[in-house]
Amino acid sequence: MKRLSLLWLLALSLTLTLQSAPAGADSVADLYRQSYRAEASGKYGAALAAMEKIKTRTGESYFVVARIGWLSHLSGKYASSETYYRKAIKLEPKAIEPKLGLTLPLLAQKNKLRELEKASREVIKVDAKNAVARARLAHALYGLRNYPDAAVVYRKLVEEYPANLDYKTGLGWAVARMGRVAEAKKIFKQVLAVSPDNPNAQAGMRLPD
């Protein structure tokens, strides 16, 4: 009798669960598949929508909020991306990944240079050699017109990654903004020697002496 009662309760529970699920609802696994496929096809809005459904089903785990942060950035929803990356940082405060992720939407917003500087330095605190964070720090410093400090960061990056032309042109422009145009043009010539159509170096060579 007790066994029959237990089986009846289990059957009732399963029935109620099935009734509460939306008709034709995809499983969480299917939603992940949809999100990855949409992202691979460049359909970032659809990829994000699938993750939002997963969030509704499973809650705001680290992976979910970090991925929503990433897809929001790709979708051009920078304020939302910033919000979700900050949530991810709170969930995994020792992780480098969300701290670096936060720099993405900040980099995309021209009025967020102070926040970008701070976020980049937070990454560097725990990963002093992180080239991506240092490059974004240099970008922020340049945008804030702190050309001497930007040049210091760019120069170190060029020493470590001499074939990276973005770092080299960044150094050239920081030096130029400090009034050392002749020195900057030497750097731009080095870039143009291996990348003749580089627009940043070409623009630098047009600076008045």
Task: Report the amino acid identity of residue 57.
Answer: R
Q: Taking a C-beta distance cutoff of 8 angstroms, is the pair 187, 207 a contact?
A: no
The confidence band for 14, taking pLDDT boundaries of 50, 70 and 90, is very low
On whether residue 161 sits in a domain, the answer given is yes
Q: Taking a C-beta distance cutoff of 8 angstroms, is the pair 198, 169 a contact?
A: yes
Among 78, 97, 131, the domain-final residue is: 131
The residue segments making up the domain with residue 166 are 145-209
Q: Are residues 32 and 61 in the same domain?
A: yes
Q: Are residues 45 and 121 in the same domain?
A: yes
On whether residue 15 sits in a domain, the answer given is no
Residue 62 pLDDT: 98
On whether residue 188 sits in a domain, the answer given is yes
Q: Are residues 78 and 166 in the same domain?
A: no
Q: Are residues 82 and 119 in the same domain?
A: yes
Q: What's the residue count for the chain? A: 209
Q: Are residues 125 and 181 in the same domain?
A: no
On whether residue 140 sits in a domain, the answer given is no
Q: Taking a C-beta distance cutoff of 8 angstroms, is the pair 165, 196 a contact?
A: no
Q: Are residues 170 and 109 in the same domain?
A: no
Among 79, 101, 131, the domain-final residue is: 131
Question: How many Cα atoms are found within 13 Å in the side-chain-facing hemisphere of 32?
Answer: 8
The confidence band for 22, taking pLDDT boundaries of 50, 70 and 90, is low
Domains of the chain: total: 2
Nearest to 174 by CA among 161, 156, 194, 160: 156
Count CB neighbours of 208 within 10 A.
4
Q: Are residues 154 and 73 in the same domain?
A: no
* Percentage of residues of the chain with pLDDT beyond 90: 87
CATH of the domain at 160: 1.25.40.10
- pTM, 2 dp: 0.85
Residue 39 pLDDT: 98
